Chain A
Amino acid sequence: EDQVTQSPEALRLQEGESSSLNCSYTVSGLRGLFWYRQDPGKGPEFLFTLYSAGEEKEKERLKATLTKKESFLHITAPKPEDSATYLCAVQAPRNTDKLIFGTGTRLQVFP
């Protein structure tokens, strides 16, 4: 069964304290891995798509990387406005477009 596991469940950082969030997956052939940001009571906001091992994507203070078994979301010098839940989702290669989500990492950045 396809599964996505995110760690840690929650992360508290001081402003400027860099860290990484982990997303490990078991999928029979990965078609795409997606990172989203979700603010409380809001819909997931698309951040990145990664397709193959070794691929990296960057946006402001965020960088996403992908290996054959996991993805990392690196946050460099975070600010309080980066506080949110970060969701990872995978898409399998069978005749499906559905996304399988992890439970997310709740990030809090304190000034």
Chain B
Amino acid sequence: EPEVTQTPSHQVTQMGQEVILRCVPISNHLYFYWYRQILGQKVEFLVSFYNNEISEKSEIFDDQFSVERPDGSNFTLKIRSTKLEDSAMYFCASSATGGAFFGQGTRLTVV
């Protein structure tokens, strides 16, 4: 069964460093998303991406964040100058129409 793949599963980084989280969406999906979940809190929308551009972004998705689809299969989230409050699970998702399918997440720990 097709699935969304995320790497790494866990990333530890020092405050102020840049991180890149990687995702391989389901191959025939056209819509891509990043969500995050701070421990014990709701899953929150960050950004959606369609047709090689951002279609929507939340207030959380400020200049510190960027997304890219560098080739036909990968979708990345870059976080510049990480802060302690960026520590969370980051989920990539993709959809054709209807429900979004999520990856297993990258646990980002900023120390």
Measured CB to CB, the residues of A under 8 A from B are: 32, 34, 36, 41-46, 48-49, 87, 89, 95-104
Interface size class of B (residues with CB under 8 A): 20 to 34
Measured CB to CB, the residues of B under 8 A from A are: 4, 6, 31, 33, 35, 41-45, 48, 50, 55-56, 58, 89, 91, 95, 98-105, 107
| Cβ–Cβ < 8 Å partners of A48 in chain B | 99
How long is the Cα–Cα vector from A32 to B89 in the complex, in angstroms? 25
Contact A49 B56 (CB under 8 A): no
Contact B107 A41 (CB under 8 A): yes
| Cβ–Cβ < 8 Å partners of A32 in chain B | 98-99
| Cβ–Cβ < 8 Å partners of B107 in chain A | 41
| Cβ–Cβ < 8 Å partners of B45 in chain A | 98-100
Take A97-B48, A98-B56 as given contacts and tell me if A46 and B99 are in contact as well, using a CB distance cutoff of 8 Å. yes
Contact A43 B104 (CB under 8 A): yes
Contact A46 B102 (CB under 8 A): yes
Told that A101-B43, A102-B42 touch, could you supply 7 new A-B pairs with CB distance under 8 A?
Answer: A41-B105, A42-B104, A44-B91, A97-B31, A98-B33, A99-B45, A100-B45
Listed A/B pairs (22) with beta-carbon separation below 8 Å: A32-B99, A34-B100, A41-B105, A41-B107, A42-B104, A42-B105, A43-B91, A44-B43, A44-B102, A46-B101, A48-B99, A87-B43, A96-B48, A97-B31, A97-B48, A97-B56, A98-B45, A99-B35, A99-B45, A100-B45, A101-B43, A102-B42
| Cβ–Cβ < 8 Å partners of B44 in chain A | 101
How long is the Cα–Cα vector from A81 to B101 in the complex, in angstroms? 21
| Cβ–Cβ < 8 Å partners of B105 in chain A | 41-43
